[in-house]
Structure 1
Amino acid sequence: MSAHLSIALTGQSLIRQDLRTINDPRLDEIVQFLKASDIAFTNLETTIHGRHGGWPLKGSYFGAAAPEVLASLKELGFNSLALANNHAFDLGPPGILSTLEEASAHDFLHAGIGPDRRHAGKVEKKVLGSRTIGLIAMDAGPGPSFMYAENESEGRMSRPGINRLKVSRAFELDKEAFNMIRSIQNRFQSSDLERANYAQPEDPPKVNGEDEIDFYGTVFLRSDQYARRIVVDEHSARIQLSVIAEEAGRGIFVVVYLHHHHWEPNWQQVPPWVRDFAHSCIDAGAGLFVSHGAPVLQAIEIYHGSPIFYGLGNFLFHTDKDEQEWSPSEVWKSVIATCNFEMGGRLLDISLRPIIVGGAEALSDRQRDRLPFPVFAEGKMAKAILDELASRSAGFDTILSEENEIGRIVP
């Protein structure tokens, strides 16, 4: 039995094509690297179009893939998948059921979706690397309530969907602007029933007192500043944290995964609410916290001896060539982070191998077609990726050293 546990973490895998037929030594390098760890983890940033069928529920940002992509991820070396993200419900409940079926058929440790909330919110467990590993995955939106799993209740059937970490968004305004919004609302003389009608299929948001306004589904707060505020629902967080604490109390090494699109204007910046929630998860007993959403690298923090990856960007990113929102070079730079633990769960160190998603040639020349797989970065590019990550992480008191194009963090 190994005296250590190694976990390789990558950026999200928005995968649309089967990579198993590719014969390229650069891809082989990535595969061998992933397979060297006990656990290789990614987020499956799509839903599977399998035998249960489904209906596309989005426009331009719809994403679904054939079951073959899971066989492809397995051959790449992955054995652990988060399934909770903004694309998991793109085919509705049938897509949820097909994704569950195919992930099980390919023997992945997987979590984050289920036939109801009870199953979607479980810590799923599997023996990997001579240690029982637990995985819980959740999504914080934004997204409509109907994409999230719910249990059966009287007069209401269960709903297959995603494990939800419920958050709310509100805009703080100064007194003058707040009163202006209230004046506009009063001119419409809308009733509570009318607001509820406009809120369908959602329930209208709740407001507390005269200092808050529900303006047709958007909440504004009277304040002395202008700010957007994301607030984690205490009851929702308590449910997630209690599940983590219960499994950690049984000696399970729990990996917590969070996906969200509540990004800061600067994509590289860690949202304060995410940092607070990540700390709460570690306090509850999680051994590792990892997040995706913003398609760029964000800071790494060591909190009470446990690693927190606030954003690992992308690993596979099969987008259409004309999608200009993904043109910033930051989207195509990432790392594979390998965390080495003692079997008891104490973090020994983290190694970081910089990668270029789609290949260096396409990064320097946008007219070139991108490779459908990442390659290891070399030379000045590898150093630049590590230097930028070190700078972002320094604000979290994380020291990242670099030698021979490999980064290293020692707690």
Structure 2
Amino acid sequence: MPFPFTVAITGQSLIHHDVRTCRDPGFLQIVDVLKRADVAFTNFEGTILGRHGGSPMKGSYFGCSEPFVLDALKQTGFNVLALANNHAFDLGPPGIMSTLEEVRNRGFLHAGIGLDRDDAATPGVAAFGNRHIALVAMDAGPGPRNMYAENASNRRPSRPGVNQLDVTRIFEADQAIFDMLETIQATFQSSRLERANYAQPDDPPVLDDDKEVDFYGTIFRRSNTNRRVIAVDSESASIQLTAIAQASSRGQFVIAYLHHHHWEPNWRDVPDWVRAFAHACIDAGAGAFVSHGTPVLQPIEIYKRAPVFFGLGNFFFHTEKGETEWSSPDVWKSVVATCIFDTTGSLKIELLPIVLGGEQIDQLDFHQRHVPIAALGKTGEEIIDDLARRSAEFGTFIERDGPLGRIDVA
């Protein structure tokens, strides 16, 4: 692969407002960083209300955007978009088709949704100069089964939707709790048919009857401990890893992207299953792994000389007036990570700290924080120092140079 080249990676972009007229110097500094990179990547956290129409598929946290937000992302400097996330199906299949149409019309490299499962799982590939970049993007939920793309089968047409990494949430429960759950179900006579009815639009799970119980949509497993487990379906994982391996074998630089909402109680912590899957993606041939979902900045790891961004939080995060869920300052802080791959195969990462709405965020309501601003003062230093402390637990050394952070993989 030809070198050097640069890949700039940001937090997720949940964008509803037109930011093209913003002339804040701190925002324009970020725009300059993105435009100087060969590849500038974000996750478009949403769906487009376009000519195919659509109707809301959820109640709270529903979101769709007009096509101009893609023009805003383009002007900001982005040229690569992951489209797999929990908002991609907010308008149903018509929203999937409109999003694909509008993204393609603007020339973005994209992946993560499609007209059927094969289409949604197909890597996006594009040439940037003489370099070929492949993007494999997937969502692990939780989400209803009908948001995920499906191929046509006997008497069933195909379904446009999101590329799924199929995972199952299981609660391991000790004997006392497990017996109590079984007693409750027996009291209310929960039959297999009733469970099937309440599983709609999904299918009821297949259980190990000696060890597991489906307690009204949640699986509990008999155990000696009490804990939550996220189990990745091996066949589903194989589909994603094979796509990565095939793209890598063709000499393409692969970005593996995962979106999920299976967070730890402390949002800043990295789930063990995500770390294991990230390593599997790198082992399969990915040159970088990126994840979003939790709306805060998570540690960075270098695995086999490839960057692993477990969570870069938010880049654009346009909320509705009156929303109060996002009071944590961590929701509004992140970094722009510019990865520089040089001719020797070494890797340097430059970290620019940012604050959505600027460092004086206490002066703005959540719904007024429209753009990220470069944090070049004390707040920026604190962002980098905090990220460095947490990333050190993963063996990553981040050096702070003023308000900026640097990672050097010789």
- TM-score, with length taken from structure 1: 0.97
Cα distance change on mapping 1:206 and 1:186 into 2, 3 Å:
same
Q: How does 1:252-401 map to 2 (within 5 A)?
A: 252-342=252-342, 346-361=345-360, 363-366=361-364, 370-401=368-399
Q: Work out whether residues 5 and 129 of structure 1, in 8 Å CA contact, stay in contact via their aligned partners in 2.
A: no
Q: Which residue of 2 aligns with 1:222?
A: 222
Q: Unmatched 5+ residue regions in structure 1?
A: none
Deviation at 1:274, TM superposition (A): 0.3
Letter in 1 for 2:255: V
Letter in 2 for 1:10: T
Q: Work out whether residues 140 and 258 of structure 1, in 8 Å CA contact, stay in contact via their aligned partners in 2.
A: yes
Partners of 1:146 and 1:368 lie apart in 2 by 32
Letter in 1 for 2:91: L
Give the fraction of aligned pairs with identical amino acids, expressed as a percent: 58
What per-residue deviation string (whole Å, max 9, x for no partner) do you get for residues 182-226 of structure 1? 111122232212211111111001111411111222111111111
Q: How does 1:157-306 map to 2 (within 5 A)?
A: 157-306=157-306
How many residues align? The count is: 409
Partners of 1:231 and 1:29 lie apart in 2 by 41
Pick which of 291-300 and 215-224 moved more: 215-224
Deviation at 1:371, TM superposition (A): 3.8
Give secondary structure in 2 for the equivalent of 1:251: coil
Q: Which residue of 2 aligns with 1:402?
A: 400
Give secondary structure in 2 for the equivalent of 1:324: coil
Deviation at 1:125, TM superposition (A): 0.3
Partners of 2:343 and 2:41 lie apart in 1 by 18
Q: Unmatched 5+ residue regions in structure 2?
A: none
Deviation at 1:25, TM superposition (A): 2.6
Partners of 2:315 and 2:31 lie apart in 1 by 12
What per-residue deviation string (whole Å, max 9, x for no partner) do you get for residues 283-328 of structure 1? 0000000000000000100001111000000001111242111110
Q: Which residue of 1 aligns with 2:76?
A: 76
Letter in 2 for 1:136: V
Aligned-CA RMSD value: 1.5
Q: Work out whether residues 247 and 254 of structure 2, in 8 Å CA contact, stay in contact via their aligned partners in 1.
A: yes
Q: Work out whether residues 89 and 96 of structure 1, in 8 Å CA contact, stay in contact via their aligned partners in 2.
A: yes
Deviation at 1:64, TM superposition (A): 0.4
Partners of 2:245 and 2:39 lie apart in 1 by 22
Deviation at 1:249, TM superposition (A): 1.0
Partners of 1:237 and 1:347 lie apart in 2 by 29
- TM-score, with length taken from structure 2: 0.97
Deviation at 1:21, TM superposition (A): 2.3
Q: Which residue of 1 aligns with 2:131?
A: 131
Letter in 1 for 2:317: F
Give secondary structure in 1 for the equivalent of 2:225: coil
Partners of 1:368 and 1:212 lie apart in 2 by 43
Deviation at 1:3, TM superposition (A): 3.6
Q: Work out whether residues 165 and 236 of structure 1, in 8 Å CA contact, stay in contact via their aligned partners in 2.
A: yes
Partners of 1:220 and 1:129 lie apart in 2 by 52
Give secondary structure in 2 for the equivalent of 1:359: coil
Q: Work out whether residues 248 and 286 of structure 1, in 8 Å CA contact, stay in contact via their aligned partners in 2.
A: yes
What per-residue deviation string (whole Å, max 9, x for no partner) do you get for residues 232-278 of structure 1? 01110011111111111111111000000000000000001000000
